[in-house]
Structure 1
Amino acid sequence: MNYRTLGKSTINISEISLGCMSLPPIAEEAKQVIDLAIDAGITYFDTADLYDRGENEKVVGEALKAHRSNIILATKVGNRWEDGKDGWGWDTSASYINNAVRQSLRRLQTDYIDVYQLHGGTLDDHWDEIIDTFEGLKKEGLIREYGISSIRPNVFVPFLQNSAAVSNMMQFNILDERAAEFFEAIEQSGASVVTRGSVAKGLLTNEWRQRLKSFMSYDEAQAKTLLEKIETLYGDVHAAALAFNLQHRAVSSTVIGARTKQQLQQNLAAYEKAQAIDNIHQLASFTRQDRYTDHR
């Protein structure tokens, strides 16, 4: 496993990170997946208070508590569950964030969170208050660093430029290159990209024929044509997908989700093969360099 620095921080994270949303809700089953990840050198684990109404944080905290000093733990805030309601609301007030971080710490069984991320954002948010709140949590020692998870340029660009945030988690993969336009600006702000949706819901794996469908601006036939080219060029679609993301200097880690040990092993095998791919830049002549049309 290789490691990269997260933005301008002193935090080093594994190039492959585990997105914990997919973990089974049973602690012992989740622990098996997490233990395998740790054995493989994965150090970055990402969850959110939104997932399963906080239950995912409990499962993650229980599985990671014995390894806490050796891993980097990230979670998110902003989506607020309300008792008696099926959905959630959006709350970025200082009072809510200060309460939410303490609830996350309790569920995660830890004294601090390494990377605390705003789970979205809108133009109507009070950004000075949000940044001041995160900075206050750093001074208290409750978080080490903070970041955002957003695909809205008119939200994440000013946030990163006007704060000490070190990361933006955003969807990026071979079939969705929209984020690439902003990689340089993100780097210049002192932050890194952590990619999610890296294998396009399984479409960018070696099981792509069984999963074939339209995705983003590619209809099913166009996706099939591209995936056949990737398979011909690299022999392994899954490995190419990981190599494609990690070729970018702005990307510190690419998040993969795994519900089972087998799924994680498939991702780890693909990552190992990705190390031998030295011509991934050739894909640029086959893919669409789509750009965001909304939230600019």
Structure 2
Amino acid sequence: MRYRYLGGSGVKVSTLCLGTLMFGAWGRTTHEDALAIIDRALDAGINYIDTADSYAGGESEEIVGKALAKSGKRDRLIVATKVFWNMSVDPNFRGLSRRWIIYEVEQSLRRLGTDYIDLYQVHRPDTNTDIEETLDALSDLVKAGKIRYFGTSNFPAHRIVEAQWAASTGGRRRFVSEQPQYSMLAREVEADVLPVCQKHNIGVTTWSPLAGGWLTGRYRANTGQAATPRVGRWPKRYDPAEPANQHKLAVVEQLAALADEAGMTLIELALAFCLNHKAVTSVAIGPRTMAQLENQLKAPYVVLDKDVLDRIDEIVPPGSMLVSREDGSWIPPELTDAGLRRRGA
């Protein structure tokens, strides 16, 4: 396995981060199978595990906690989790207020069965909470030894800059990492988020490098729709009759042909593409089965030459966004609430 520094934290993480979204009820991966996947990932040299309080209602964190106890390697691992999404019908059991962060970090510690969290990430921006309020709470948790570092996820560039400014001018600790959606089909962050992270020495762990399965080779033209838990939850996103999906299928065919010409799998091409960007520290993979993990472990050693990268740019131009924002990326309220962009009644 290969390792890179996570921004300016001084901590080295594996270039593959084991994402655990699919562990438990959401991905229908049993605890036993998930533990086996984690064991194999650790054996392969992965030292970076990413989860969230909201994944399967906390079940993912509990599985990771079991793995930490079983492995005996807690001190050698970088464990990351997140906070933001609602964990109850209570209106205050969500967001990035001091009240919720201080409460929920204790719940994550309990589920993970650990005394500290290496990287505590805010899962989405909270437009109802001042960033200073969030940074103060997170800084206090570092001082208390509950967390070591904190980062963002799905933050647009201007909010990353705002947070850096609030930290530098207020004597607060700063975010050391960002976790954006990034793949050959979702290149929007190349325009601003990734350059901003480079400018401020912020580590980047990308999510959905396989574009929700589109870059695994499972969804191909004329092969129909494969039955998976992901398709079951979001059937329209994978319906080949949808015009947007027809376009994606055509693009995937070109990328698959390019991978064949380059002597690698489409999965390896997709992961290596993300790791090739200068701003990217690590790529979060989300295997649901052991076979899926094995198919991704070679990616850190894949080298893409200039000709291959140029061909990718021709097929999917830099900055393109072929995967809908609805596939999980944060949608600014200014785009969903007409009242925020229109004058008058």
Is it true that 1:167 corresponds to 2:177 in the alignment?
yes
Q: TM-score, normalised by structure 1?
A: 0.89
Gaps of at least 5 residues in structure 1 are none
Aligned to 1:225: 250
Higher strand share: 1
How far off its partner does 1:284 sit? 1.2
Q: How many residues align?
A: 291
- Per-residue deviation, 1:162: 3.4
What's the CA shift string for 1:244-280, capped at 9, x where partnerless?
Answer: 11111111111111122111111224x16x6133234
Q: 1:145 aligns with which of 129, 146, 149?
A: 149
Greater CA drift, 223-232 or 284-293: 284-293
* Aligned residue number for residue 202 of structure 2: 191
Distance 2:331 2:101 in 1: 27
Alpha carbons 1:170, 1:194 under 8 Å: kept: yes
Q: Which moved more, 1:66-75 or 1:25-34?
A: 25-34
In structure 1, the residue matched to 2:74 is 68
CA contact under 8 A between 1:123 and 1:155: conserved in structure 2? no
**What does residue 203 of structure 1 align with?**
214
Match of 2:267 in 1: 238
Do the aligned residues in 1 keep the contact of 2:271 with 2:283 (CA within 8 Å)?
A: yes
The equivalent of 1:120 in structure 2 is 124
Which residue of structure 1 aligns with residue 15 of structure 2?
A: 15
Find the counterpart in structure 1 of residue 305 from structure 2.
278
Is residue 94–residue 100 contact of structure 2 (8 Å, CA) maintained in 1?
no
* Gap change, CA 1:23 and 1:88, over 3 Å in 2: farther
| Distance (Å, rounded) in 1 between the aligned partners of 2:244 and 2:90 | 33
Cα distance change of structure 1 residues 56 and 86 upon mapping to structure 2, 3 Å threshold: farther
Amino acid at match of 2:160: F
SS in 2 for 1:226: helix
Based on CA coordinates, which of the two structures has the bigger radius of gyration? Answer: 2
For structure 2, the residue ranges without an aligned partner over 5 or more in a row are 168-173, 227-237, 335-345
Shift of 1:111: 1.0
Letter in 2 for 1:133: A
- Corresponding residue of 1:40: 44
Alpha-carbon shift at residue 55 of structure 1 (Å) = 2.0
Q: CA deviation at 1:87?
A: 9.8
CA contact (8 A) 2:197 2:204 kept: yes
Deviation at 1:86, TM superposition (A): 10
**Which sits farther off after the overlay, 23-32 or 64-73?**
23-32
Residue type matched to 2:314 in 1?
S
Contact 2:150 2:175 in 1 (8 A): yes
Q: CA–CA distance in 2 between the matches of 1:281 and 1:74?
A: 31
Structure 2 partner of 1:58: 62
In structure 2, what is the Cα distance between the partners aligned to 1:140 and 1:149? 23
Identical residues among aligned pairs (%):
33
Corresponding residue SS for 1:249 = coil
Distance of 1:87 and 1:202 partners within structure 2: 33
- Give the AA of the match of 1:155: R
In structure 2, distance between residues paired with 1:87 and 1:226: 42
Task: Answer yes or no: is 1:257 the counterpart of 2:267.
Answer: no
Residue of structure 2 in register with 1:78 after alignment: 84
- Distance, in Å, in 1 between the alignment partners of 2:247 and 2:92 is 36
